[in-house]
Amino acid sequence: MRFQVLLLLATLVILTAYTGMTSALTLFSVNVSDNELTYGETFTINVVYSGSGALKIINNDTRDTEKVFVLPSDQADASFNVDTTGLLFPGEYHLQIANETGSPIYNSTDSNLPPDLFSGTIVIIPPFAVTECKVIDYPGHYILQNDIPNATSSCIIIETSDVILDGNNHVIDGLDSGSGIVIQNSSSTLNNITIMNLTLTEWLKGVYVHNSRNVTLLQLNVSDNRIGFDLSLINDSRISSSIIQNNSEGGFLLYNSNNCSLEFNTIRHNSIQLYDTIQNVIVGNTLINGEISTNRATNINISFNNLDEGSISTSGSVIVRISSNTIRYNSGVGISIFGSNGISVLNNIIENNSGEGWKGIDLQYSSNVTLSNNSVRESEYGLMIWDSQNVTILDSIVENTDDDGIHISDSDTIVVSNNEIRDTGGIYISSTHNTSISDNQLQNNSIWIYDSTQNVIVGNTLINGGVSTYRSTDINISLNNLDEGSVGTSYSTNITVYSNTITGGGINAYNGIVTGNYVNHSGIQPWDYYSHFGNCTVYNNTFEKGFIELTEDRNAVSNNSFNETIVSIHSSKNTISNNNFSEGGMYIYQKRNNNVISNNVFTNTQISISGESNNNTITNNTLTDSDVSIRGTSNTVSDNYFSNSGISIYEGTNNTIAHNTFHNYDSSAIYIHSPNNTISDNILTNTGAFVSVGNNNFQNNTVNGKPLMYLEKLKDVTIGDAGQVIAVDCENITTRNLEISNTSVAIEFLNTTKSLIESNSIHNNEYGIYFLSSPENIIRNNVIYDDELGMFLDSNSNNNTIYNNLFNNTRNVAISSTNLWSVAKTYATNIIGGSYLGGNAWLTPYKTGFSQLAPDSNGDGICDYPYQIDQNNVDLLPLKVPGNLSNPPIQTILELESTSSPPNSTATLVSLKISSDEIIAGINLTVVYNPNVVELIEIRSDSTIYSSIDNSNGVAKILLTNTSGINAIQQATLLTLKFKTKHSNTFTYLNITDVELSNNYGNVFQPDILLNGSITVTIRGDFNGNERVDIGDVVKIAYMVIGMSDEDLAADFNGDGEVDIADLAKIAYYVLGEINEL
């Protein structure tokens, strides 16, 4: 220990002598890597110090300072590389170090220097001059002094190690034979050879190197030879910053070589080819119309190269990294990998390429390949994978390709993840297994799976694209987001479609599972004509504003939510259970059988079973604002709960409606239009049933807690208690002393005659009494009030006697037949307590009924004049309601009349009437009609009219003003609309919308009641609307001829443009049967 301390003190004493004691610079060591060099070589000076100063290299002969290096104060160890070329010419040099004041503290030529400080001179030996072709067999630095033209055989042959040949920018030119430079020794491996600054042209081989190591080929121009570089069995070598171009049989060939670097070269119309090499680097090169290829190579790095009209390929190679290259304007394949293993293709740009069959990246017969962060644009195909295994494609961009963005065939264990694929043919997978396609972004593309098994498609986002499988098995399609796209499977089995979000597209699957998906503006449907949806399990999905088509049998659809979605069943033996449906529809199409619809909740959804569909079951469902229609045979609707919902049977037979509960339906909850059906054990509340044909079996049904009395083909029956009465093909039925309310039709007669309806209270129903083809019945002593329509009699319900009834409904009767509405005036108490029997009491809830407004001047309880119900029905002795006739209506009622006309009528008149306790000074309203049925041609009024008529859309906007005011205490006509009708047997509603009224003070208000009208277009010649041509029509035309009513050109039977005596004669002869047509 004492010895070490003494040695340290001695060293400090010696070093102090070389600091000058006044300087802040202290030296600890100075070393030179080589002090005897050939011109052109490089050496290193290393200085360990503290403080700051400068290192100088001084010429011994001239004493000139050739180079100065700064020793910074913040650095304790400095190394300086010194290249003798162009800096230190042949001669002797020494080192000097000065402190920051410029005072030298060290010279390498001083005597007695410590061993850690370099002592002596640096000797630079001059290079050897080369003026002609020669063999170099002695180490050293050689400089070419001149061009060597037209050499006849190999020119510079290097047979020794440690050689630098500086071409000094000269040219060695050959005659298409031999090699410009040869580096080879047949008996030994050469080492440490540099060739630089030289042009080699017109040789068989520009540079030939064999069995060498540490070879540097720098700044060479090797052009217009047959082969540019032919290198074999070389190791640890570098080819850099050279130009390789227009060599006819090969630009750069490297065989059986290791640890070589080809960097920053410019290569035109030539390629780089590696064969059987290991651990080589190809980096930073520029290739124009050339390629980089490896064959049977291992551990190759191809990076940061720029290729225009070029490509990169590897064949039979292992562990090749192809990264950060740019490949443009190619007409073949950008990057090709064939029969290789452990390949990484990373961060490459491949773009602006064209040509039939062009591929950005083509991978064949390879395994363990990673394709990551690549960008492929403007090609026919993006990435194509053939017959390969364990391939990963991720974080890449593929866009604007003419065909598939990613095409994978006959492969196994492929991962495609987190890529962006835009405006291509999408991702196409064929005969490929165990593939994962996840978290990709696709725009205007789809994912196609053909003839493949055990693939997963998960977490992808597709815009305007879908997912399709064809002849595939065990496919999982999950957690994808599809906007304007669909999921489709065709001829595929065991498909799972799970938790996808689908907007504007749909799902099609076969033998699969569809679960947990969110589907918006789309649904489940066949992908195309050849695809099917069948044998699937569909559960826990949400469908919004879309559709589902079940095209094959045996689907199980359960626990889904359907909103504004149509479910179309084109198949049989499906089970649809425990779903929630709203704002949509379910349709079982023709000849689809044995479907079960159970335990679902339907809201505002229509359910339809089409013709020839049999043995379907609808059971244990809850329906709200939803209707069921059946046209098939042997279907069952049972144990359901209907709220404001109903069932209609059209055309089908042997159907069963049983054990259902119906509640609060505005019309008939059970509507039967076909025979031979069974309706039993149903509970109806605030609704009822309706039939239009017979031969049905009604049993044990109730309406509002009372029996639904259904009679068919019976005679001489008196009905006791009933919540509704339906008589079909009956005779002499008595319905007496019943109170029937809150049902659809209180009493319905179908083909029933000679029966009696008397002394019943019928109120708050849709229809009070409804007759179909039921003549010669008696209806008397009934109170019929607060129904939507008091009584309906169709055109075949004639000669009924209807008297001493009280009607008090918004609409009291609708008639298409001729009936008797009164009996002879007889002294007896009538229905409203008056002294005489006669006709009926006609009231309305608004106190505007005939019996409320008509006078009774003699006080006998009979109105002073008959009540014209329509053209064929008159109550001759309407009863007068007692009370003050001056009492005005308590509500404002705006009513548009209903009428009928023949086709092509030009004078169909419809009046707009008002009742009000206000003085009417103005009205603004819109009338809407069907332009395919009628055309509005004129608006008449005693008031001022402003109007806009749009017959193309069936809309008339009307503004009326009357500064004098219209007194509407008793009903007044505001205006008359004149229509032209079109085709026969058509109908249009006349609907009033957007109404505002003004009184004479300018106060704006709306009517309390709006009564819309209609126009029925009947048959040619029917001007009185009774659906036949008779004497009434003759009279109407007679009035036209004499000018007492509007001329209607529908009566111009002879087509002369006017209605005249000839037309009157023609219809008269037609009524007499003298002619057969008008």
Which pLDDT tens digit goes with each residue over 237-277?
A: 999 999 999 999 999 999 999 999 999 999 999 999 999 99
pLDDT at 16 over 60: no
Predicted local confidence at residue 355, as pLDDT: 63
For residue range 1057-1067, what is the model confidence (pLDDT) as tens digits? 999 999 999 99
Task: Enter the tokens of residue 388.
Answer: 């390969």
pLDDT, residue 530, reads: 42
What mean pLDDT comes out for the span 797-825?
A: 96
So what's the pLDDT on residue 889?
Answer: 43
What's the rounded mean pLDDT across residues 683-688?
Answer: 97
Give whole-number Cα distances, 268 to 173, 239, 265, 885, in Å.
19, 16, 10, 113
The domains spanning 2-125 and 893-1017 adopt the same CATH topology: yes
514-568 residue pLDDT tens: 888 887 776 665 544 445 567 788 888 888 887 787 878 898 999 999 898 888 8
The sign of the dihedral angle between the CA atoms of 883, 889, 891, 896 is positive
State whether residue 9 is helix, strand or coil.
helix
SS3 letters across 106-150: EECCCCCCCCCECCCCEEEECCEEECCCEEECCCEEEEECCCEEE
Beta carbons within 10 angstroms of residue 985's beta carbon: 10
Least confident of 35-44, 381-390, 622-631, 869-878: 35-44
Structure tokens, 682: 């149903």
Fold exhibited by the domain 893-1017: Immunoglobulin-like (2.60.40)
Percent of the chain with pLDDT over 70: 95
Is the pLDDT score of 91 beyond 50? yes
| CA-to-CA dists, residue 891 to 98, 912, 924, angstroms | 118, 16, 19
7 Rama sector, left if φ>0, alpha if ψ -120 to 50, beta otherwise:
alpha
The pLDDT, as a whole number, for residue 552 is 81
- Asked if the model's pLDDT at residue 286 lies above 70, the reply is yes
Could you give the CA distance from residue 617 to residue 634 in angstroms, rounded to a whole number? Answer: 9
The pLDDT > 90 percentage for the chain reads 70
**CA 979, CA 320: separation in Å to the nearest integer?**
86
Left if phi > 0, otherwise alpha if psi is -120 to 50, otherwise beta: which for 727? beta
Q: Residue 1005 and residue 196: Cα distance in Å, rounded?
A: 103
Taking alpha carbons only, the member of 957, 958, 970, 979 closest to residue 904 is: 979
- Predicted local distance difference test score (pLDDT) of residue 383: 93
pLDDT of 883: 65
Comparing 652 with 722, which gets the higher pLDDT?
722
Tell me the CATH class for 2-125: mainly beta
Contact call for residues 388 and 368 (beta carbons, < 8 A): no
Mean predicted confidence (pLDDT) in 704-728 = 96
Helix axes 1061-1072, 1031-1041, angle to 10 degrees: 170
Residue with the bigger pLDDT between 486 and 114: it is: 114
Query: What whole-number distance in Å separates Cα of residue 444 and Cα of residue 447?
Result: 11
pLDDT band for position 148 (50/70/90)?
A: very high
Mean pLDDT of 849-854: 88
On the question of pLDDT at 184 being above 80, the answer is: yes
Whether the CB-CB separation of 292 and 313 falls below 8 Å is answered with yes
- Reply yes or no on whether the pLDDT at 885 is more than 50: no
Rounded CA separation 1029/1022 (Å): 5
Residue 841 clears pLDDT 50, i.e. is over it: yes
Give the pLDDT band of residue 888 (cuts 50, 70, 90): very low
For residue 937, report the phi and psi dihedrals to the nearest 5 degrees: -115, -15
Contact yes or no for 337/356 (Cβ under 8 A): no
**Integer Cα distance of 13 and 597 in angstroms:** 107
**Greater confidence, 867 or 791?**
791
Q: Which residues contact 1033 (CB under 8 A, 6 or more apart)?
A: 1021, 1022, 1023, 1024, 1067, 1071
Residue 527 confidence (pLDDT):
45
Burial of 1012 (0-12, 13-18, 19+ CB in 10 A): middle
Q: What is the pLDDT of residue 890?
A: 53
999-1044, pLDDT tens digit by residue?
999 999 999 878 888 898 999 999 988 878 999 899 999 999 998 8
Residue 310 or residue 21, greater confidence: 310
Strand partners, 922: 961, 998
Provide the pLDDT for residue 468. Answer: 86
For the chain, the domains span 2-125, 129-270, 704-875, 893-1017, 1031-1072
Cα–Cα distance, 990 to 928 (Å, whole number): 6
Determine the average pLDDT of the residues in 129-138: 95
Contact in structure between 354 and 378 (CB atoms under 8 Å): yes
What is the arithmetic mean of pLDDT over 95-119? Answer: 90
> Do the Cβ atoms of 836 and 860 come closer than 8 Å?
yes
Q: What is the pLDDT of residue 532?
A: 59
**In the predicted model, is pLDDT for residue 17 greater than 80?**
no
Confidence of residue 10 (pLDDT cuts 50, 70, 90): very low
Residue 884 pLDDT class (50, 70, 90 cuts): very low
Quick one: pLDDT at residue 509?
65
User: Average pLDDT of 959-966?
Assistant: 93
> What pLDDT does 38 receive?
80
Summary mean pLDDT of the chain: 90
Q: Is the pLDDT of residue 903 over 50?
A: yes
Closest by Cα among 743, 775, 780 to 668: 743
Whether residue 225 is predicted with pLDDT greater than 90 in this model: the reply is: yes
* pLDDT at position 510: 65
Residue range 733-743: mean pLDDT, rounded? 97
For residue 505, what pLDDT is reported?
67
